[in-house]
Amino acid sequence: MPRGYGYGASMGAWILDYLGGWAGQWRSVTHCDAQYRGPAFIGDITIMNAEITGKTTDEDGRTTVQVKCTMENQAKAVLATAKGSIALPLS
């Protein structure tokens, strides 16, 4: 490796933190499946993007949204991808 880098566990924590920040105080991340594509080197930036890909409501009225997340560096190289589920509060 040309210089220090963030380990997969660290990158997974960044993804969970990003999704949790979007979810906010009254929602929760219920599932996350991340795949690591390359290292996040010291000195690089990481850019997170996400999109909602689906929404389900169970028989008890609990709504969950499915999210697809991508982590890239400043050169647009994909460092990680993830799919997550976020439970919304009951209305």
Query: How do the pLDDT tens digits run along the chain, 91 residues long?
Result: 778 887 778 899 999 999 999 999 889 999 999 999 999 899 999 999 999 999 999 888 889 999 999 999 999 999 999 999 999 987 6
C-beta separation of 67 from 84 below 8 A: yes
Q: Return the CA Rg of the chain.
A: 15
Beta bridge partners, 85, equal 31, 66
pLDDT for res 15: 95
pLDDT for res 70: 97
Domain 5-87: homologous superfamily in CATH: Hotdog Thioesterase (3.10.129.10)
Domain boundaries, the chain: 5-87
